Amino acid sequence: MGRLDRRGLDLVRKRQPWGALALVMLTGLAMMRNGVDADPGPPQPAGAVSPGSGRVVAAPTPSAGLQPLAYAPASRVRIDALDVDAPIIDVGLDQEGWISAPPPQDPNLAGWYQNGISPGQRGTSVIVGHVDNASGPAVFYRLGSLKPGRHVEVTRYDGRVAVFQIYGIEVFSKEDFPGVRVYGDTGHPELRVITCGGGYSRDGGYDGNVVVFARLVATH
């Protein structure tokens, strides 16, 4: 799982405001469970021939004067490039320390990790969703086809919209998930959108996670 050593944990405590649950996430334990047993086929990040590979460019520079938002829960996510427009529910951790995915019965539903950062706050917020369910593709089925430069918009319950620009899309093995890299505080308001990906087997489900890296570039 790639647990942090003592020095790494001390760094996390200094940089992250999340508390004990964040430390669980940063050890790589807080990843989504295997995908639902269904036919494989979701697109993978461009160039992703092995876990940990994908397309990454320089993170965008926020506009001058752009300020992080205050805390407010997330209510909806839009990704116009994928025709995604989905409601968001709050999710936490299950008994085994994984981020709980939304109920799979609704294919157009995402989850925001409510014990972490609010989208638009300084730090890294996390939105998760299924790639498929027993009936077919789900909300983030085409997540791996995104390209850097595209936008993800998150509407919040205070009426504000946080606009994030994508700068990386990668797939990581669930057995060697880089928690610090994915969840760590970069000093900017950032977003990670996560679904299942990588190889698939009927017995084991998906063996990886597709992760979209994005940074706040606008609010309205």
Look at residue 52 in the predicted model and tell me its pLDDT: 62
Q: Is 201 exposed, middle or buried (0-12, 13-18, 19+ CB in 10 A)?
A: exposed
Look at residue 40 in the predicted model and tell me its pLDDT: 46
Look at residue 105 in the predicted model and tell me its pLDDT: 95
CA distances 15 to 43, 142, 176, 209, Å, are: 34, 33, 23, 25
CB 180 within 8 A of CB 114: no
List per-residue pLDDT tens for the chain, 220 residues long.
Answer: 333 233 332 333 333 444 434 433 433 333 444 444 445 489 988 765 445 666 678 899 877 789 999 999 999 999 999 999 999 999 999 887 778 899 999 999 999 999 999 999 999 999 999 999 999 999 999 999 999 999 999 999 999 999 999 999 999 998 899 999 999 999 999 999 999 999 888 888 899 999 999 999 999 9
Look at residue 64 in the predicted model and tell me its pLDDT: 77
Look at residue 3 in the predicted model and tell me its pLDDT: 32
CATH fit for domain 6-219, picks 2.60.40.420, 3.40.50.1100, 1.10.1060.10, 2.40.260.10: 2.40.260.10
CA distances 38 to 35, 42, 136, 220, Å, are: 8, 11, 7, 39
CA distances 110 to 13, 95, 128, 144, 164, Å, are: 28, 20, 6, 16, 16
Calculate Rg over the CA atoms of the chain: 16
Look at residue 72 in the predicted model and tell me its pLDDT: 98
Residue 176 — φ and ψ, nearest 5°? -145, 55
Look at residue 219 in the predicted model and tell me its pLDDT: 97
Look at residue 23 in the predicted model and tell me its pLDDT: 35
Q: How many residues does the chain have?
A: 220
Look at residue 191 in the predicted model and tell me its pLDDT: 98
Domain ranges of the chain: 6-219
Look at residue 208 in the predicted model and tell me its pLDDT: 92
